Structure 1
């Protein structure tokens, strides 16, 4: 016969086990997202300032700037440049802005903030950076902005890890 104390003790053990998993995850925390072409990417969580969902008219177009720039937005008083990260990485298909909201990932380093407009933000995942392999399948124009990639399952699908520092310091902003 099972007593109330056995049930409480078992529940406490399960909660402790779940809590230990949350406190001691394996790997590092990354934000996963998709660009318009359907490719999946990740960014390290520590370089992300915040994730926004904005109406397209909240991004103000700026004339005579690099074609990779969509415009600027006001992020609590700070002017932030926004780029279609898919086009920045060399994909010809632009982000569909004929929608109610655009997902923007604001990345930041040394007081520089840039908004990356993406097709769909997925979730945060703990991923093992030791399993990251060189990006051998990535196009040449994308390679400078990648730290590597994870192969997803047995397929030809990749989760590519972007280098936020390389994006922020890129000469593509001026062209």
Structure 2
């Protein structure tokens, strides 16, 4: 074992230089994304299996299923259903699939996995649940799947928090 002091480049009581500019995050970690209509949503990071960027041709159409379903996807040997989450929530504007890649957010709970096709993934963000308010102007088609919303600083835009369990257990899948 070496006791050479040259290996100790910093004082153990001081923060490492690369960490000095970072602050402790407040709140919980969420994935932020947009649907085709431009509305922004968030999902808790704990319910997300992974985020994929796929060629639309990798989604296989399935006849005689709910119109909410875009098709199925083979995710490393597991077949998962894919939905346009905007349309699932009641948006009239369907996701534009005429492009080279589609972002899919795979959510799961108790062995059930569903892929949510979104317009654009914004990334991960720490959000304070203390500032979460009830959604008062959400459409009836969306309300059962919302936990609340954050009002964004300096804008009249809201960031709506989705409940992944409510989405996965929805009776809408049967219609």
Match of 1:50 in 2: 50
- 3-state DSSP of counterpart to 2:148: strand
Which blocks of at least 5 consecutive residues in structure 1 are unaligned? 1-7
Q: Deviations over 1:100-133 (max 9, x none)?
A: 0000000010000000000000110000011000
RMSD across aligned positions (CA): 1.6
TM-superposed CA distance for 1:154, in Å, is 3.4
Which blocks of at least 5 consecutive residues in structure 2 are unaligned? 1-9
Q: 1: distance between equivalents of 2:154 and 2:164?
A: 28
Q: 1: distance between equivalents of 2:16 and 2:146?
A: 42
Match of 1:15 in 2: 18
Tell me the TM-score normalised to structure 1 length: 0.89
Match of 1:38 in 2: 38
Q: Deviations over 1:15-50 (max 9, x none)?
A: 34335x2xx311000000000000000000000000
Match of 2:3 in 1: none
Q: 2: distance between equivalents of 1:159 and 1:132?
A: 9
> Quick check: which one's helix share is greater?
1
**Pairs within 5 Å for 1:64-79:** 64-79=64-79
Tell me the TM-score normalised to structure 2 length: 0.89
Give every structure 1 segment of 4 or more consecutive aligned residues whose post-TM-superposition deviation is greater than 2 Å: 11-19
